[in-house]
Structure 1
Amino acid sequence: MNKERSSPAGDRRAPFWFLGGQARILVPSTATGGSLSVMEFTDSKGHAPPLHVHEAEDEIWIVLDGEVTFFIGDDRHDLHAGAVAHGPRGVPHSYLVRSPNARLVVAFGPAGIETWFAANGSPIVDVNDAPAPFDIEAVIASAQAHRLRVTGPPPAA
């Protein structure tokens, strides 16, 4: 059996569960002097984080695989593999996976928020396991320290 063991606080490139999907840190803030971090997210159809605002960083989303709708302020962007969207700091945003699966690369500038994702993640013990359960209230409460706040429910199809 192929097992991938990781700890969100350990190997930063190892995948971990986050809000029902897989995440991994590709470029941590320590590699860029805090100017930029890059993460990868793999989510299944219907996955949507709550509407939220980053007060401290901008985001750039690059869809690698699948179809994803991004909600940025009052705008809606239906994107497919190869498309890019920008989420400016201070603007509420979220996304909704429309295809069976989607894979995104997300750049954050400045860096630092990747530590929040890792701290709220769960290790992937076996890549064939179902996503780990999570406590959304605890995740939301811990976000305040990173100037990240939830402003609404996840978008629906």
Structure 2
Amino acid sequence: MITPRNATEPFWFLGGQARVLVPGHATNGSLSVMEFTDAAGHAPPLHIHEDEEEVWIVLDGKVTFFVGDQRFDLEPGQAAHGPRGVAHSYLVRTKTARLAAVFSPSRVEDWFTANGSPVTGVAEAPAPFDIEAIIASAESYHVRVAGPPPVG
């Protein structure tokens, strides 16, 4: 199945924009592909997906990925793997960065979309978010915070 480029509208998640490129329902839940666009310094808390394997592909910008005790400084066209059960995060090192993330299986996609806010305008600033509520909702998707966001 080919998903049209505009298959999903972008939404705000943790201060950056996200959108679903290949929804889990199109793959019978075997995988989901999402796109994230974040500003310099953006870093989600160190976290663990208990159920999903995750692969990140840098599309634009420079991003450092932290997986367990390893660090990967990646540029466009490079990728990193975050195995299920291993703490991971990333840090945007350029003015902006855009990455694709593949989750397998796809269930965690629902956590992102459930905690997002619609993007209503091109020049709109990131929507405010309640990090505590997002963290609290993560447990039901078998995602847990393992530490603060990385700083470098």
TM-score, normalisation: structure 1: 0.92
Q: In structure 2, what is the equivalent of residue 106 of structure 1?
A: 101
CA RMSD of aligned residues (A): 1.0
Q: CA deviation at 1:12?
A: 6.2
Give 1:131's match in structure 2, choosing from 111, 126, 134.
Answer: 126
Aligned residues: 147
Segments of structure 1 that go 5 or more residues without pairing to the other structure are 1-10
- Stretches (4+) displaced over 2 A: none
Query: Which of residues 10, 18, 30 is equivalent to 2:13?
Result: 18
User: Which of 18, 23, 27 matches 1:32?
Assistant: 27
Unaligned runs of 5+ in 2: 1-5
Give per-residue Cα distances to partners, 1:15-74, cap 9 Å, x unaligned.
000000000001111000010000000000000000000000000000000000000000
Inter-CA distance 79–37: structure 2 relative to 1 (3 Å threshold): same
Aligned partners of 1:106 and 1:14: how far apart in 2?
16
CA distance in 1, matches of 2:142, 2:13: 18
Deviation at 1:13, TM superposition (A): 1.0
Q: Residue 152 of structure 1 is aligned with which of 135, 140, 147?
A: 147
- Superposed CA deviations along residues 98-134 of structure 1, whole A, max 9, x for unmatched, are 0000000000001111111000000111121110000
Find the partner of 1:116 among 88, 108, 111.
111
Query: For the structure 1 residues 114 and 12, does the alpha-carbon distance in structure 2 shift closer, same or farther, using more than 3 Å as the test?
Result: farther
- 1:60 corresponds to: 55
Counterpart Cα distance in 1 of 2:150 and 2:136 = 20
- 1: CA distance between counterparts of 2:7 and 2:18? 10
Question: Secondary structure in 1 aligned to 2:129?
Answer: coil
Match of 2:3 in 1: none
Secondary structure of the corresponding residue to residue 30 of structure 1? helix
What is the aligned partner in structure 2 of residue 5 from structure 1?
A: none
- Partner of 2:112, secondary structure, is helix
Mapped partners of 1:127, 1:41: distance in 2: 16
